[in-house]
Amino acid sequence: MNTTIEPHDLPVAGHSRNPGLPLDLEWVMDARANRSAIERRAASYGTRRSVKKEYQAAWLIKAITCMDLTTLSGDDTEQRVKRLCAKARNPVRPDILHALGLGERRITTGAVCVYHEMIPAARRALEGTNIPVAAVSTGFPAGLSPYRLRVQEIRESVAAGAQEIDIVISRRHVLSGNWQALYDEVREFTEACGDAHIKAILATGELGTLRNVARASRVCMMAGVDFIKTSTGKESVNATLPVSLTMVRAIRDYRERTGVSVGYKPAGGISKAKDALVYLSLMKEELGRPWLEPNLFRFGASSLLGDIERQLEHHVTGRYSASFRHPIG
């Protein structure tokens, strides 16, 4: 079977930067979140629309190109990171790509995300590619290490070669409504990143309310982050559709107010291909076609890639293969 996927379905290079703006507390406090309306709208995704056959295959390839392939375990080794990077370089088996009509295309994941100690190993393994290395920072996942060390951690990860930095915010600033402190913190983190792109992890499962999520999103964008991200993946509640809808609408408001496009990264708990399709649908409907590219959308994922590859094999062969035939690293 030869299912052709058009060039515009493949990733484009380049990142926009967010210069930020002075903290506008009136705009922050104006943020509202109607939970019942948000939950009704979020529940409609995945039921109102669906993509099938070759269109589904194209969307799943798109999801792969928007993926931060991630390993954040205490038992990470250089060999594990090397294997993960090999998968990032060639995320889909060649026979499947040829059957999809993509044998000559260069398909890679959007980035590889690791702890600071694994940055050099990831850089070596990705040499000769355009795949960036992302590093979690600022006392990930809790963000409770001494403040000066959190800032220094960013600088050292950038010096080690990380092109993207995923920082965690101090949740206490959100829970106490200290928006000035949150802005000042994230602004300093942003400045410490220099030319590296910065993603702010809100840890939404620990923020209490969707209104807090909306307000924290606005503050972080004003402070100059390039992406806002749901979770560390270590909380009891990670990415959800209501939280995602709240955050992408904050991105839309920021775009309308400033003309600047900020990216979005759901992370934690997204492990099935069908879930990836729902999130892509949400991004397209709420923010438009530009947010289906890796410069503005990423999945924080580890096991998701294996299920997507399995679904692609089913598309070209008509049979489901065992999960162990699609190892991640």
Long-range CB contacts (within 8 A, 24+) of 12-16? 12/293, 12/295, 13/130, 13/295, 14/295, 15/197, 15/226, 15/295, 16/226, 16/260, 16/261, 16/295, 16/296
CB distance 246 to 266 below 8 Å: no
pLDDT at residue number 15? 54
DSSP string, 270-292: --SHHHHHHHHHHHHHHT-GGGG
Catalytic residue, chosen from 62, 87, 199, 229, is: 229
Rounded to 5 degrees, what are φ and ψ at 167?
Answer: -100, 155
Token pair belonging to 301: 């994922």
CB distance 160 to 197 below 8 Å: no
Catalytic residue, chosen from 62, 68, 87, 166, is: 166
**Residue 29 CA from chain centroid, whole number:** 26
- Whose tokens are 């065992």? That residue is 322
Query: What are the beta bridge partners of residue 199?
Result: 166, 227
CB distance 240 to 248 below 8 Å: no
Q: At 247, which amino acid appears? A: M
Token pair belonging to 37: 């309306």
Q: Does residue 9 carry a catalytic annotation?
A: no
CA dist 217 and 228 (Å) reads 7
pLDDT at residue number 103? 82
Catalytic residue, chosen from 62, 87, 199, 265, is: 265
Q: Per-residue confidence of the chain (329 residues) as pLDDT tens digits?
A: 344 444 334 433 445 799 999 999 999 999 999 999 999 999 998 776 677 889 999 999 999 999 999 999 999 999 999 999 999 999 999 999 999 999 888 999 999 999 999 999 999 999 999 999 999 999 999 999 999 999 999 999 999 999 999 999 999 999 999 999 999 999 999 999 999 999 999 999 999 999 999 999 999 999 999 999 999 999 989 999 999 999 999 999 999 999 999 999 999 989 999 999 999 999 999 999 999 999 999 999 888 999 999 999 999 998 877 666 666 65
pLDDT at residue number 16? 72
Query: What are the beta bridge partners of residue 264?
Result: 228, 297
Q: Does residue 166 carry a catalytic annotation?
A: yes
Query: What are the beta bridge partners of residue 228?
Result: 200, 264
CATH match for 7-325 among 3.40.50.10800, 2.60.40.10, 3.20.20.70, 3.20.20.100? 3.20.20.70
Q: Does residue 62 carry a catalytic annotation?
A: no
Q: At 49, which amino acid appears? A: R
- Whose tokens are 């969307």? That residue is 59
pLDDT at residue number 73? 93
